[in-house]
Amino acid sequence: MWVSTAAKKPFFLSLIIWLIISIFSFILHPLQPFQSIAHRGASFYAPENTMAAFQKAVDLGFDFIEFDVRLSKDGHLVVIHDADVQRTTDGVGYIGDLTVQEIKMLDAGSWYSPEFSNERIPLLEDVLKQFGGKIGLLIDMKSSENQPQLTKVLSDILMRYIDNGVKLSTLKVQSFNINEIKKFHELTPTISSGILLEKPLNILHFETYRKFASFLSVNHHLLSKSIIHQAKQYGFDIFSWTIKKQYQFQIMQRLGVNGIISDEECKESNSNLLTLIFQ
């Protein structure tokens, strides 16, 4: 059926008005408070997943540090993101094929800057000892599908850590592996556990996940006010990752996330309206 150009004009005008109102409504929405979570430590300022990056996060006033753990050949939890050491050290090989003694010999800082040449890959227990009680710890289990014993080892270490009087609110564990998060929750139900997500969510996910997860760490591109509202109705906290640009902090705050995982601290932004919307 043919529709005249004149008949289309009111529709397009209404659409434009709705878009303008929606944009200004979002921009004028107040900025919500959030927990600041340093991605692999303050990795904008120091080499990722090192004690230097974690100390910088403390100095900058972050609420949590987020870091990754993998199992060494001899069954120790070491703090590193990648399965192999080549990108962030002067060595080669996979973490699962190296002993702690071999891992401790690697330079984990020079790739970032010569001033960090003395940095080493830390053990989880090093991080717990030095930073426990100073800052919250968000631990990301890596490769637990290939190293199923990792979950049990992590649970045992954290339970010993809790027995020393550490507040439960300062500990969180997350993973992309849903089965391992279920297992971790069964082993350690008192520690907050969450799921990392990079695919769209729906209500069925919320219903299933809430049995063993208290928070969801979601790729920020997937987040909207409606998704966050639904998730909170099911009792989840929502963390967004990974924020790398200052204007994105404002967007996440207006959406109402509970935590923002970022490489650097949130600074006062003078972004104008067009920058905030279109950058």
Question: How confident is the chain (279 residues) per 10-residue block, as mean pLDDT?
Answer: 53 54 50 94 98 98 98 97 97 96 98 96 96 95 84 96 83 96 96 95 90 97 94 96 94 96 80 42
In angstroms, the CA 250 to CA 269 distance is 8
Residue-level pLDDT at 32: 86
| Residue among 185, 114, 142, 129 at smallest CA distance from 40 | 142
> What's the DSSP call for residue 115?
G
Q: Environment class of residue 149 by beta-carbon count within 10 Å: exposed (0-12), middle (13-18) or buried (19+)?
A: exposed
pLDDT value, residue 146: 76
User: C-alpha 226: how far from its chain's center?
Assistant: 21
pTM for the predicted model, two decimal places:
0.86
Residue 165 is predicted with a pLDDT of 74
What DSSP string runs through 4-28? -HHHHHHHHHHHHHHHHHHHHHHHH
- pLDDT given at position 275: 42
User: 196 phi and psi, to 5 degrees?
Assistant: -85, 135
Instruction: Name the residue type at position 137.
Output: L
Catalytic residues: 39, 81
Place of tokens 């227990």: 125
Q: What share of residues in the chain are helix, strand, coil (percent, to 5)?
A: 40, 20, 40
